[in-house]
Amino acid sequence: MKWANFLHFYQPANQQPDILQAIVAQSYHPVIEGIKKNKQVCLTININGALLELLHKYGHDNLIEDLKKLVAENRIEITGSAKYHALLPLLSDEEIIRQIELNTETLKHFFGNYTPNGFFSPEMAYDDRIGKIVEKLGFKWMILDEISCGGEVGQVDYSQIYKLSGTNLKVFFRDRRLSNLIMSAVVRSRDSLLEVMKDELETGRYIVTAMDAETFGHHRPGLEKMLFEIFKTEEFELIKISDVEKYYQGKKEVTPAKATWASSKLDIEKNIQFLSWNDPENIIHKWQWDLTKLVLEEVYGMDKNHARYELVRGKMDMALGSDHFWWASAKPWWSLEMIEYGAWSLLDTLRHIPDLKKEIVEEARDYYEKIISTAFNWQRTGKIRAMMQSQNNILRIPFKDRTLNRPGAENVYYAFLAMMERLKKEAAKKGEYEQAILWRDAIYKLKHKLDIYDTMNAIDLVRVKIPHDEVEKTIIEYEDKYRRLRGGQPEQRGS
């Protein structure tokens, strides 16, 4: 089986040097060393221009040199992206192009005139404009989450190569289940991974996974060891995404749905794919974007020959990064520090523009003060906690109440209990006793309505562990079993 694994290296442009040092030591250095040692391994990565400059600034040039050698050896390929991790669908065409071109210039600076073939949109955020712009800029393919293929998971045919309708741009879709399985550390060994990939191994199709590079060693300490085990596995061949077309020739046209790699089917149906960065019900988001628009207009009005223009334009580019919008969402992400830094960055950009009208400065300062004072007020009064709880409200309803006590959904409850029981026995048989205990406890929690306290609900774990089509098949099987049960002793189902 051909497996194209994609790693996304990213840190915000204002990341603190001590945090960067920890991430380099825990994740970046071990991962890159692992790639170097395993000569048979090929990977596709994204490393934003802003991170490359950070690594250079704080003395991590050895990592950049290692990557440069791996590129020269054709062992890794690096995608294009937006230099400061801006959420591209929320920007104008002009700013999208600028962010992408700045990133490509930075790649060429560090990697010796390197020209990327593939493209990664931050957060895999996509709308109809992105594909056309990406092709126009000379890219040959881009990577999106599988939910962009048809608006729900499970629609991708990994025996085919997809092409964006009306263009020559190829589109490769990330397998969400396998990517999330690895990122969540539900499996921590080569054998466990092979077990959940058995269907893929038997079909002969290719697979594309994508995840944050920081998953290995930083977010998930010790998980880098599994990555190195994967590198040595003979059951599949790790290839670059650009090489998939060497082995699979079938072509299929697609019009991707607007989404990110975190979007759900419901998000797409409700057209709220970018809620974490621009929530119409979040006044802080509104003020952030109003301030952004105000500053952009003043930057556009500058004389490009002015001595300060490049300085101002550079500050504006950095201020368009998506982080401070994301941390203001409170659904559930929230950071006063990041909110303040983003607002300050925009205000600081404006202050460097010469000959500004006093009312423009006052208007911008007013936005800054409203953003910061409102953020503090929300946190102080408990509004943030309430917003987080509202966002996760569906998970605060026990799964038993969402299914067993809802007409027509009773079979779902029994199906998931059966699947958890099966996973428990399989884990115990393989000697993975921690996993067996996890499923034993999950069954108990579901039966006693205690699952609302879990950070990651057991139902989500099952969907990560077992292929989507197998989950649906089991639910259908239990629908027939439930029809027989409900004619017997329904009073026993409430225990």
pLDDT tens across 59-86, in order?
999 999 999 999 999 999 999 999 999 9
Is residue 465 a part of any domain in this protein? yes
The pTM for the full model equals: 0.82
Lowest average pLDDT, out of 59-68, 160-169, 294-303, 424-433, goes to: 424-433
User: Residue 183: its pLDDT value, please?
Assistant: 83
Please check whether residue 480 lies inside any domain of the structure.
yes
Is 133 within the bounds of a domain?
yes
Cα–Cα distance, 357 to 361 (Å, whole number): 7
pLDDT of 485 > 60? The answer is no
3-state secondary structure 351-366: HCCCCCCHHHHHHHHH
Q: When comparing pLDDT for 226 and 97, which is higher?
A: 97
Residues 245, 294: one domain? no
Q: Is residue 208 part of a domain?
A: yes
Boundary of a domain, candidates 337, 371, 391:
391
Radius of gyration of the chain (CA): 24
- 429 versus 7: the higher-pLDDT residue is 7
The reply to whether 276 falls in a domain is: no
Q: Of 235, 270, 305, which one is at a domain's C-terminal end?
A: 270
Confidence of residue 453 (pLDDT cuts 50, 70, 90): low
The reported pLDDT for the residue numbered 489 is: 28
More confident residue, 100 or 397: 100
pLDDT at position 158 is: 94
Counting residues of the chain whose pLDDT is more than 70, the rounded percentage is 91
In the predicted structure, residue 392 carries a pLDDT above the cut 70: no
Question: 105 and 58 share a domain?
Answer: yes
CATH number for 41? 3.20.110.20
Length of the chain in terms of residues written: 495
The domain total for the chain is 3
Mark whether 255 and 323 lie in a shared domain: no
Rounding to the nearest 10 degrees, give the CA dihedral for residues 448, 451, 452, 457: -160
- The answer on 411 and 374 residing in a single domain is no
- 275 belongs to a structural domain: no
Q: What is d(CA 115, CA 377) in angstroms, rounded to the nearest whole number?
A: 47
pLDDT tens, position by position, 12-44:
999 999 999 999 999 999 999 999 999 989 999
Q: Which of 133-142, 241-250, 392-401, 439-448 is most confident?
A: 133-142
Average per-residue pLDDT in the chain?
Answer: 88
Helices in 184-222 by DSSP H: which ranges? 190-196, 198-203
Average pLDDT of span 456-483: 68
* Four-CA torsion 242, 245, 248, 249, nearest 10 degrees: 160
Domain shared by 6 and 135, yes or no: yes
- pLDDT of 122 higher than 70: yes
Residues 243, 354 share a domain: no
pLDDT band at 403 (very low <50, low <70, confident <90, very high): confident
Residues 263 and 354 in one domain: no
Q: Do 351 and 206 share a structural domain?
A: no
> How far is residue 468's CA from residue 399's CA, in Å, rounded to a whole number?
19
Per the structure, the complete domain to which residue 426 belongs is given by 394-494
For 78, residues 6+ apart whose C-beta sits below 8 A from its C-beta are 44, 45, 46, 47, 67, 71, 107, 111, 114, 116
Q: Is there a single domain that holds both residue 6 and residue 88?
A: yes
Q: Are residues 264 and 317 in the same domain?
A: no
Residue 14 located in a structural domain: yes
- Does residue 469 register a pLDDT over 90? no
In terms of domains, do 85 and 165 share one? yes
Question: How sure is the predictor about 270, in pLDDT bands with cuts at 50, 70 and 90?
Answer: very high
Q: Tell me which of 391, 415, 449 is where a domain ends.
A: 391
- 1 DSSP 8-state letter: -
List the structure tokens of 171. 């589109």
Tell whether 432 is covered by a domain.
yes
Residues 426 and 380 in one domain: no
Q: Rounded to an integer, what distance in angstroms lies between the CA atom of residue 92 and that of residue 424? A: 50
> Which of 46-55, 203-212, 446-455 has the lowest average pLDDT?
446-455
Cα of 113 vs its chain's centroid, Å: 28
Q: Is 187 helix (H, G, I), strand (E, B) or coil?
A: coil
Residue 457 — pLDDT band, cuts 50, 70, 90? low
